[in-house]
Every structure is written in C-alpha cells, then in structure tokens.
Amino acid sequence: MKKTILTAMLIAPLMASAQADYKQDSIFIRKIFNTALADGKSYDMLRHLTQVVGPRLSGSAGAAKAVAYTKEVMQQEQFDNVFLQNVMVPHWVRGAKEQGAILDGKKKISVPLVALGGSIATPKAGLTAQVIEVKSFQELRELGKEKVKGKIVFFNRPMDPTKLQTFDAYGGAVEQRGSGASEAAKLGAIGCIVRSMTTRLDDVPHTGSMRYASGAPMIPAAGISTNAAELLSKTLKANPGTQFFFKQSCEILPDAPSHNVIGELKGGKSASEYMVVGGHLDSWDIGEGAHDDGTGCVQSIEAVRILKVLGYKPNYTLRAVMFMNEENGLKGGITYADSAKSKKERHVAAIESDRGGFTPLGFGIVGTPAQKAKIKSWQKLFSPYGLHEIGVGGGGADIGPLGPQGTVLLGLIPDSQRYFDYHHAGNDTFDKVSRRELELGAASMAAMLYLLDKYSVE
C-alpha cells in the first residue's frame, strides 16, 4: 500500500500537469482549426498560384513568377524574415503540343499523348513503328532484342486498383515511366510509350519524370491516356502489326538559376534552431499544379501564418519553405539541406505536404523510435479532427535530404483516393481542390508544428 501511495504522490502532479497541458493544447488546436476554416487564406492563395501564376515547371517563367508571388505573400503577412535561396535547376521544355496516333492498317486513330519530362524529341516528322506491348521489365527482357529492336515499346501495366493507398499502387507501376525508355532502348527499341499513372479510365494523359540510364541509347518517351492504352492493347490483339506514331519536340536546355522561397517566424529560446513546413513550388507544365503541389505550398504558408495570427511565440525559428524542382531533380531540397549543413542551422523537425490538398487523415513520421513514440502520444489531440493515423507513412521528397542531419521528418497524409485522378495531368487545376479539405490540411500542419515546437522532439 505504501508503495502505491508513494507512486500516486509522485505521479499525481505530473498527471495534473499533463492534463492541464492537454486541455490547453486542445483549446489552442481548436483555435487553429477555427482560424483556418473561418478566416483562412490558403484557398485564395491557391487560386492565385494556380490561376494567375499557373503552371511553374523548373526554369520556366511561371516558376519565377511563383517565387515572386510566394515571397510577396509572406512579406505581406509580415513574416519576420523572407528570403530567397539560389538553386540551379534542370531546364526541360515541352515544345509544341504533341501528337499521337494508333495506325491500324489504313486507319489512323489520334490518341491523347504527352511527352514524359526529361525525354528527348522525336524526329521532326515524328516517329512511326510497330508496337510491342509489355506489362513488366521481365516480360520485356524475355522478349529479347530480336522482338524489341526497331519497335516502340508500350508499357501497359495498370496501377493496382485493390491497393487502398493509391500511392502504393503508384509505387507498383511508376518504374515503367521512370526507367521504361532505357530498359527498352537497351534491347534496341526506338521509342517508348507508357500507360498513364492513374486508376481512372479516361482521356487525360499524365506526364512525370523519366531518366535515361547511362550507357543506354536515349529514345523518346511519352505517356498516353488510359483509354488510349486500353484501345491500343485491344487493337494489338486484333492486329499484331499495328503501328504507333508520335511526335514531340521537347528539349533539355542548360541548367537555369531559380530559388527556394523561405519565410520565417523567429523563435525565442531556441531561435538558432529550426523547424520547417514545406511543399514544392514547381509543378508540371500541363495543368495548374493545384494538388501537386500548390496545395502543399499554400498550406505551409498558412500553417505559419495561423500561428502568427494567434499570437503564438515559438521556441524554435519556424520556416515555411517553398522548395523548387521536386518534380525533375529535387535540387531545391538538396540545396536547402546542404545550406543548412554548411551554415550549421540545426533542423529539429520538418513537415511536408506533397500528397494533395485532400481531407487529412494523419502524419507519416521518419525518426527514432523515441521520437515516433512522442509524436504518436499526441494522437488524441488529432483524433477529433479525423486524423487517426499518426505515425503511418513517411516524410516527403523535399525534406528527405535533411534526414541525415538528424531532422525528424513528417509527411501530411491526406485521403489518397482522388490524387492520381489529377497527378501530373492537365486536369490538376484549382477547381479540383475543396476549400474545406485544403484548410483542414493547413490546420493539421499548424497543429503539428505547434506541438513539435512546444514539446520539441530532441
């Protein structure tokens, strides 16, 4: 009994304190959500970034405008310090609108097609060849040089619709887009077309980055819509001699100067240490870069803005970071981490939003078991807002390079069901974003940033 009483005496004040903190945190987080939902600015920022600035591929005029706009916004919001960080980025341009067609005997059926980012052009008159369809690299290799040489290889493995997280389905299919061209070229193919990375059946072709393997000949690569892929596959079954035509005039230009955009809220007792919320400012060139990743950018600015508006005085210096060049190089993320290292700017935690502006369901965490456990202990503060999955999943591409410096990495995990309907495609536009879903994500990030700052994760 004595021991029990002693334990109770020791624990009781701690519990009272924990309960007081819980109540206080709970009230403050409610204020964060109220501000985002009733007086939020993320939606109007997104409207500007997507509809006025528009697409913003690295090296483009749009990207430069996006740098200027987000800098201006954070200055207008009177962040303590707003500045640019120089980044050299790849500069790929699409050129004229592409053409694609199935040639079934004398029939020519035009199909929606876009060059993959990083691809070379076709010859000026376009490229026409017989098509060989495969579902995997293994199937391709088993066909061998004899059957592949001189042909256009058509990668047609769909994203698996039974995966509950669409990112898992994407992960199971995207090698076709990233490495398909070089795998095909190694066996003598002269062109590569890839089924778009979406579970939808529609007429919207999706782009995205591809890389040429060193040593493999560079051949042109394009994405076709899923309906076109279905049609081509069906046509090939009926007529194995079916040819495909495509024409694209994309170019790889010399690397170009660009910027990360950084806005700070100065910390108090740990002001020389940092916490980051970020998204990537660049986007593909064929839509408006709404869900990928305009939403992450405006949510990051909004998260810091809300804490400022609510009068929160952070311990750490909090940064909203718009990373440049996630889509085709990650130079922004790499440069940011390199700079932090060389300037000895210790980064304690970083949060990224790059999975679309959909209803938030949780946060992924990359950190030590103790850090994960600490962050997961805040679960009950997030559950009232529908975030039941704290600790499921990882961080984000742009913040990844901070990992080796000991930074805890967190990724906002929104509902993924619609993300690949729009990802890297012409329909990734402002109208696809729900104001409330966007705002709930921004509030979730602000709440997580608040807890990280208040309790640290050291």
Using CB under 8 A, list all residues that contact a second copy: 33-34, 37-38, 161-162, 164, 166, 199-200, 359, 361, 384-386, 388-389, 415, 417-418, 421, 434-437, 440
Residue 352 bears catalytic tag: no
> What DSSP state is assigned to residue 116?
P
Q: Are strands 270-280 and 346-352 parallel, antiparallel or unpaired?
A: parallel
Q: Find residue 223's DSSP bridge partners.
A: 114, 194
Q: Find residue 363's DSSP bridge partners.
A: 390, 412
Smallest Cα–Cα separation from 351: which of 337, 372, 365, 335? 365
Instruction: Compute how many other C-beta atoms are within 10 angstroms of the C-beta atom of residue 376.
Output: 13
Could you give the CA distance from residue 332 to residue 438 in angstroms, rounded to a whole number?
Answer: 24
How far is Cα of residue 338 from the mean position of the Cα atoms in its chain?
21
Contact by Cβ (8 Å): 442, 42: yes
Q: Find residue 350's DSSP bridge partners.
A: 276, 409
- Long-range contacts at 169-172 (CB < 8 A, ≥ 24 apart): 169/199, 169/420, 170/197, 170/420, 170/423
Could you give the CA distance from residue 35 to residue 284 in angstroms, rounded to a whole number?
Answer: 31
Instruction: Compute how many other C-beta atoms are within 10 angstroms of the C-beta atom of residue 440.
Output: 24
> What DSSP state is assigned to residue 424?
T
Angle subtended by helix axes 175-185 and 137-148, to nearest 10 = 30
Rounded-to-10 torsion of CA 442, 295, 353, 382: 30
Catalytic residue among 326, 327, 352, 439: 326
Could you give the CA distance from residue 413 to residue 387 in angstroms, rounded to a whole number?
Answer: 9
Instruction: Compute how many other C-beta atoms are within 10 angstroms of the C-beta atom of residue 431.
Output: 11
166 versus 328: smaller Cβ distance to a second copy: 166
38 versus 238: smaller Cβ distance to a second copy: 38
Provide φ and ψ at 433, rounded to 5°: -100, 130
33 versus 246: smaller Cβ distance to a second copy: 33
Contact by Cβ (8 Å): 275, 407: no
CA distance readout (Å), 151 to 100, 117, 191, 226, 241: 15, 21, 7, 21, 11
Contact by Cβ (8 Å): 414, 357: yes
Active site residues: 326
